[in-house]
Structure 1
Amino acid sequence: MPFPFFGDEKSTVARLLATLPQTGRVEWIGQRPVRREPLVSVQEAELKTDSHMLGDHARPKSGGKRQLTLIQHESMAAVASFLGLDAPIEPGRLRRNLAVSGLNLLALKNRQVRIGEHVILDITGECHPCSRMEEELGPGGYNAMRGHGGLTAHIAQGGIIRVGDVVRVVDTSPAGDN
C-alpha cells in the first residue's frame, strides 16, 4: 500500500492547509459612518450581498474584493507590545470592520467563512497597513502593524452579524456538509 500522502493522494502540505477544524468568534464590529472619522462600535450589523456593511461609508463596487475587513483580535496585544504599550490596542483604532478571535485569520486566505447563521464571506487577501497607522498609533505604528493588518473579504451572502457570532470555515470539499 502506498504512503497515504503521495501519489494520487493530496500532499502533506495540501492536506495540512485544508485542515482547519477550529472556530472563531466575532469580538467586535466597527462601522465608519464618515470617511476619516473614528469607527463606531456596534453590537450587530447588516451585510449586503456583493456590496457593503450598512452604516459604513465605504461603497465598494459590485464584485469588489474589499467589501469588508477583518483583523485578528489577538493581534491587538501584539501591536501594543511592539509599540511599548501596556494594554491592547482598541480594535477601532486599526480601522477594520471585524475583530475575530480564536482562529488564525491568515489561514483563511482564499477560503470561505460563515459568520453566524447566514453570512458567507470570501476571504480575498491581506489588508496591509497604510500610513494612517502612523497618525493613529504614533511613530512606528505602520511597522508595528506589518503582518498584523488582517484580511479583506467579499460578501458572498449577506445577512445580520452580531458580536459573539461563531466564525467557521465553509467546507467546500465534495464530501462537505456545510
Structure 2
Amino acid sequence: MNIKDLLKSFPRTGRVVWIGLRPERRGPVAEVEQVLASVEEGLLGDHYAGRRDSPASGKRHVTLIQAEHLPAIGSYLGRDTVNPAELRRNLVVSGLNLLTLKDTRFRIGKAVLEYTGECHPCTKMEATLGPGGYNAVRGHGGITARVVEGGEIRLGDTVEVLVDGVY
C-alpha cells in the first residue's frame, strides 16, 4: 500500500461529543445540543457568524478539538482534564485524529466542512487556564474548518471523511 492510499484509510468515524457557541466576544461559551452551519455565516449563534471582517468570513467558520486531547492538556496543568468551554472551540470530536483531515472535506451531521488549518492557542489561554496554559494547549489546539455545505450539526453526529468526494 502506498502513502496516498494510507492517507485515505481511517480506522473509524468520529463522533461529536460537545458543541459550544460564543455568543459574545470574550463572553462565556454556551454549551448547546445542536447548531446550524451556514456556508455564508459559519455557525449561527456564534459571535463570528456573518462578520465579513472576522475569521468566520473564510478559514475559521468552525473550530474543532479532539476529546482525547482534553486530558492531555489537563495533565500539563496538573489537572485530570479541562472543560472544552475553557478552550473556546466549537466542536469536540472523539474517535478520529483531526490532524488526519488535512486536505480533506468531511461530513458532520448534515453539514460538510473543509479542513483549513490548525487551531493554535491564543494568549487568552494563559489567563483562562493559569500559568503555562498557552504552552499546555500548543500542539493540542485542534483544527479550523470552513462550511462548504450547510446543515444541522447535533451531539452524537458522526464525523465521516469524504474520500474523493464520497464516503
TM-score using structure 2 length: 0.92
Question: Matches of 2:90 and 2:57 in 1, distance apart?
Answer: 18
What is residue 101 of structure 2 aligned with on the other side? 108
Tell whether the 8 Å contact from 1:50 to 1:157 is kept in structure 2 after alignment: no
* TM-score with structure 1 setting the length: 0.86
Q: Aligned residue for 2:70? A: 76
Give the 3-state SS of the residue equivalent to 2:60 in structure 1.
coil
CA distance in 2, matches of 1:98, 1:92: 10
Deviation track 1:82-125 (CA, whole Å, cap 9, x = no partner) reads 1111x211111101000000000000112111012x21000111
SS of residue matched to 1:96 = coil
Residue of 98, 120, 134 corresponding to 2:112: 120
**How far apart are the structure 1 equivalents of 2:89 and 2:75?**
19
Cα distance in 2 for residues equivalent to 1:127 and 1:89: 17
In structure 2, the partner of 1:152 is 144
1:1-178 → structure 2 map (5 Å cutoff): 12-59=2-49, 60-61=51-52, 64-85=58-79, 87-116=80-109, 118-172=110-164, 177-178=166-167
What CA RMSD, in Å, does the superposition of the two structures yield over aligned residues? 1.5
Question: Number of matched residues?
Answer: 163
In the TM superposition, what is the alpha-carbon distance from 1:145 to its structure 2 partner? 0.4
Indicate conservation of the 8 Å contact 2:8/2:163, yes or no. Answer: no
Separation (CA, whole Å) in 1 of partners of 2:10 and 2:115: 14
TM-fit CA distance, 1:146:
0.6
Bigger Rg, structure 1 or 2: 1
Task: Could you list the structure 1 runs, at least 4 aligned residues long, displaced by more than 4 angstroms after superposition.
Answer: none
Which whole-Å CA distance do the structure 2 matches of 1:122 and 1:129 have between them? 20
How far, CA to CA, are the matches of 1:63 and 1:143 in structure 2?
A: 28
Cα deviation for residue 170 of structure 1 reads 0.8
Q: Is the 8 A contact 1:110 1:125 kept in 2?
A: no
Q: Distance in 2 between matches of 1:96 and 1:31?
A: 8
Q: What percent of counterpart residues are identical?
A: 51
Match of 1:77, as an amino acid? P
Could you list the runs of 5+ residues in structure 2 that have no partner in the other structure? none
What is the SS of the residue equivalent to 1:18? coil
